[in-house]
Chain A
Amino acid sequence: MALATPARPAAPAQTGPPRHRTTGSAKRARWDMKYSPYLYIAPFFIVFGIFGLYPMVKTAWMSLHDWDLIGEHTFIGFDNYVELMKDDYFWNALVNTLGIFVVATVPQLILALFLANLLNRTRLRGKTFFRMAIFVPNITSVAAVAIVFGMLFQRDFGVVNWLLSFAGVDAIDWDAQRWSSWTAIAFMVDWRWTGYNALILLAGMQAIPRDLYEAAALDGANHWRQFWRITLPMLTPTFVFVVLLSTIGGLQLFTEPLLFGNGNMRGGTQREFQTLAMYMYEKGINSLNTAGYGAAIAWALFVLIGIIAAINLAVVRRTVK
């Protein structure tokens, strides 16, 4: 910006009004130096304030009330949280969320590691193409993915059951049991996120100095040994970062299980795959008069993610040392 140029030193001959003008522009310049940085960072804070901070504060306030979305609000203190601790369905949703997270994330990260290692080979042809290709699922709309996978995992006309029928397996009603619904949802999550994680891991792998591998090769270590002894240990910080990202995403899982369950907030007739986010929506939005309770679930979810992130951080600190 032009204003940021420092004021020209005043010529000694000049006195009176011109001098006055110089101090004016110097003042402006100083003002500019002091305050414009706030203006530059303002957009983030404004957007965060409106869409991040305000909803959080409002949600906290709501969670202390018996809050009817289109009716009255009564202050009840921490009753919602006390109730929540005794609520079977809350704990059920928590188990589902963590369960789906484990079922989805473990194979996902192993596969991502494998893919990244493959793409890291120096002699691979069409490297850029493959790197782009594995990222494409990630930019596909979640709803589209969920709808398509929902059809693949249909009971009567689904492709998966059709393929399984060749192996002599009877038609599986995917959304009727815990294990099958979790598997189907894990497939959707993995399809979208494996490539994304593979790219991050690949970036981590490329930061490992080449000469380590060359030295290892000279010592007679094969590819497999190099992978275990060099790649994996050097990759740990990246790996923990990927785990952290997956955790945050996994705990907020919503669209995939919702659309898999045909748009019903229950997530299966016996809540087999209702996640915390879905339970929050059920209580907070779906049944009008329990919005305060829904807000309490939102805060419980927030605290939970905080705890898990803290554990992750502790692990990173230890491994990086």
Chain B
Amino acid sequence: MSVSGRGSKLVALAAVTALVLGVTACGSDDGDSGTTAGGKPDKLVLETFSEFGYDELVKQYEKDTGIKVELRKTAQLNEYRPKIVRSLATGKGIADVVALEEGILNEFKTNPANWADLTPLVKDHSTEYLPWKWELGKAGDGRLIGLPTDVGSLAVCYRTDLFKEAGLPVERDAVTALWPDWPAFIETGKKYRDKTGKGLLDSVTTASSAITMQIGGDIFYDAENNIVADKSASVKQAWDISLQMVDANITAKTATWSPEWSAGFKQGTFAATFCPSWMLGIVQDNSGPENKGKWDVAGVPGGSGNWGGSWLAVPERGKHKAEAAKLAEYLTSATSQVAAFKLKGPLPTNLEALKNPDFQSYTNPYFSDAPTGKIFGGSVEGIKPVHLGPKHQAVKEQAMEPALRAYENGEANAKAAWDQFIKDAATQGAF
């Protein structure tokens, strides 16, 4: 009987296995969008973070082509990145078109096989964009993985009403003249603190982001992608200026993206923040309609700079790569980039869009009718490409910024903060 006893167990096991297989077989059908006759997909999924200003454009595309487009948005980049990673790693829920920001682009470039080569899928656009921006869309193996969307450029967003209360000039050229360089900015912050008792700038990390990108050169990595955070000139300079800002007590100590920070826009906890063009939409959303006309845009200390900017890429595992590439091509065209800029502020990289009179003459009603087309558009030509290594974003967000905030909050002295930064940069930056 013992033999048949074992046999029965085996049968039971087999039955269970069959059930498991049945269950998993059901699970593997994850409801991909169907395909109509002629190979045209019913639906394309477009995955973006923050605000790209694509809401209207997507509707237009649906009308023109009959293909439905599902526009997904994630507010913060640090929540967005894991989503992309997960879909790439598992192949589940993968979007057809994915937006990649400059800070994470290079990390994804280290495994270029995950992305479709766009060269055969779209027309040759290589001369239509800012040349450096176009080049960055290529992976190390030469394939084109991203079509350029926007660049950040750099300006200062400031509250005219709070500046007035503090006895500072309000008019945008006069405000720009307040801070020809960073020491002058710190002096203005001290004056603001004396008059109001509050911090001028939101946090030390918006400043450090702006300064590192403004100085440029090698930031956390050298050209061969070795981590050089401890030796980099731009990092050292940005670090020193940031520490001076803390010592001068000109920040409101509201960590970027925290609830205090978001609420601070409405409450007037701080009067200024560094504004790449894409930040305009965020300032507007956080400040709410009641503060319309209280914000304005001025020039940044030390001339110009660039912070942020993205590309649209097509995952290799996507089902409809050809159609997805067409959508990306449409969204990065000159007319689309101007439309997106007007809606949410991302600054065009398409040369034709930058020359478009509609773009150049645009004034932003929320920001006291500031001529944002002229302010940001005028600075684009001067932007120098900056080399960002594979894990730039991780080193910035997980090494440099926590260390600076620890110093800002008085949790660590200058040396301890620097040591923490360098230690974390080594582990976060490894790839």
Answer yes or no: do A and B interact.
Answer: yes
- Contact: B78 with A263, CB < 8 Å? yes
Q: Given the known inter-chain contacts A156-B263, A156-B267, please indicate yes or no for A38 contacting B16, CB distance below 8 A.
A: yes
- Contact: B19 with A269, CB < 8 Å? no
Give bound CA distance, A23 to B32, whole Å: 51
List chain A residues, Cβ under 8 A from B177: none
**What is the CB-to-nearest-CB distance from A260 to chain B, in angstroms, rounded to a whole number?**
11
- Contact: A262 with B89, CB < 8 Å? no
Interface residues of A in 274-307 (CB under 8 A from B): 285-289
B79 within 8 A of A: yes
**What is the CB-to-nearest-CB distance from B259 to chain A, in angstroms, rounded to a whole number?**
6
Q: Report the tally of A-B residue pairs with Cβ distances under 8 A.
A: 86
A71 to chain B: closest residue by CB: B111
Q: Given the known inter-chain contacts A35-B12, A69-B85, A266-B398, please indicate yes or no for A42 contacting B19, CB distance below 8 A.
A: yes
Q: Mark B9-45, 1 if CB is under 8 A from A, else 0.
A: 0011001100110011000000000000000000000
A103 within 8 A of B: no
**What is the CB-to-nearest-CB distance from A55 to chain B, in angstroms, rounded to a whole number?**
13
Q: Given the known inter-chain contacts A50-B24, A70-B111, A262-B255, please indicate yes or no for A285 contacting B19, CB distance below 8 A.
A: no
- Contact: A270 with B412, CB < 8 Å? yes
Chain A interfacial residues counted at CB < 8 A: 33
- Contact: A68 with B259, CB < 8 Å? no
Q: Mark B91-124, 1 if CB is under 8 A from A, else 0.
A: 0000000000000000110110010000000000
Partner of B430, one of A173, A269, A289: A289
Q: Given the known inter-chain contacts A157-B260, A270-B406, A270-B412, please indicate yes or no for A69 contacting B20, CB distance below 8 A.
A: no
List chain A residues, Cβ under 8 A from B55: none
Interface residues of A in 151-185 (CB under 8 A from B): 151, 154-157, 173, 176-177
Partner of A46, one of B20, B257, B398: B20
- Contact: A70 with B20, CB < 8 Å? no
- Contact: B16 with A266, CB < 8 Å? no
Q: Given the known inter-chain contacts A35-B15, A68-B111, please indicate yes or no for A263 contacting B76, CB distance below 8 A.
A: yes
- Contact: A70 with B88, CB < 8 Å? yes
Q: Given the known inter-chain contacts A156-B264, A173-B409, A270-B411, please indicate yes or no for A262 contacting B19, CB distance below 8 A.
A: no
List chain A residues, Cβ under 8 A from B267: 156-157
Give bound CA distance, A156 to B266, whole Å: 13
- Contact: B406 with A269, CB < 8 Å? yes
- Contact: B85 with A157, CB < 8 Å? no
Partner of B259, one of A39, A71, A151: A151
A45 within 8 A of B: yes
- Contact: B402 with A154, CB < 8 Å? no
- Contact: A287 with B394, CB < 8 Å? yes
- Contact: A35 with B8, CB < 8 Å? yes
B254 within 8 A of A: yes
List chain A residues, Cβ under 8 A from B335: none
List chain A residues, Cβ under 8 A from B244: none
Give bound CA distance, A158 to B56, whole Å: 38
B403 within 8 A of A: yes
A150 within 8 A of B: yes
A123 within 8 A of B: no
B258 within 8 A of A: yes
**What is the CB-to-nearest-CB distance from B363 to chain A, in angstroms, rounded to a whole number?**
33
List chain B residues, Cβ under 8 A from A154: 259-260, 263
A38 to chain B: closest residue by CB: B12
B190 within 8 A of A: no
**What is the CB-to-nearest-CB distance from B143 to chain A, in angstroms, rounded to a whole number?**
16
A287 to chain B: closest residue by CB: B394
Give bound CA distance, A154 to B263, whole Å: 11
List chain B residues, Cβ under 8 A from A263: 76, 78-79
Give bound CA distance, A264 to B256, whole Å: 12
Give bound CA distance, A45 to B85, whole Å: 31
- Contact: A42 with B412, CB < 8 Å? no
A24 within 8 A of B: no
- Contact: A269 with B403, CB < 8 Å? yes
List chain A residues, Cβ under 8 A from B391: 287
A125 within 8 A of B: no
List chain A residues, Cβ under 8 A from B411: 176-177, 269-270
List chain B residues, Cβ under 8 A from A289: 430-431
List chain B residues, Cβ under 8 A from A249: none
Interface residues of A in 35-65 (CB under 8 A from B): 35, 38-39, 42, 45-46, 49-50
B225 within 8 A of A: no
B405 within 8 A of A: yes
Interface residues of B in 262-296 (CB under 8 A from A): 263-264, 267, 269
B142 within 8 A of A: no
A150 to chain B: closest residue by CB: B259
Give bound CA distance, A218 to B336, whole Å: 88
Q: Given the known inter-chain contacts A38-B15, A46-B20, A46-B23, please indicate yes or no for A264 contacting B78, CB distance below 8 A.
A: yes
- Contact: A45 with B76, CB < 8 Å? no
A8 within 8 A of B: no
- Contact: B260 with A270, CB < 8 Å? no
Interface residues of B in 37-75 (CB under 8 A from A): none
A317 within 8 A of B: no
**What is the CB-to-nearest-CB distance from B201 to chain A, in angstroms, rounded to a whole number?**
15
A34 within 8 A of B: yes
**What is the CB-to-nearest-CB distance from A61 to chain B, in angstroms, rounded to a whole number?**
15
**What is the CB-to-nearest-CB distance from A178 to chain B, in angstroms, rounded to a whole number?**
10
Binding site for B on A (CB under 8 A): 34-35, 38-39, 42, 45-46, 49-50, 68-71, 150-151, 154-157, 173, 176-177, 262-264, 266, 269-270, 285-289
A-B pairs, top 6 by smallest CB distance, nearest first, are A38-B12, A269-B402, A269-B406, A269-B405, A69-B89, A71-B111
What are 18 of the A-B contact pairs (CB < 8 Å)?
A: A35-B8, A35-B11, A42-B16, A46-B16, A50-B23, A50-B24, A154-B259, A156-B267, A157-B267, A173-B253, A176-B409, A263-B79, A269-B402, A269-B405, A270-B406, A285-B82, A285-B86, A288-B85
17 additional A-B pairs beyond A35-B12, A69-B85, beta carbons within 8 Å, are A35-B15, A46-B16, A50-B23, A68-B111, A69-B88, A69-B89, A71-B111, A156-B260, A156-B263, A156-B264, A176-B411, A262-B259, A264-B78, A270-B411, A270-B412, A287-B428, A289-B431
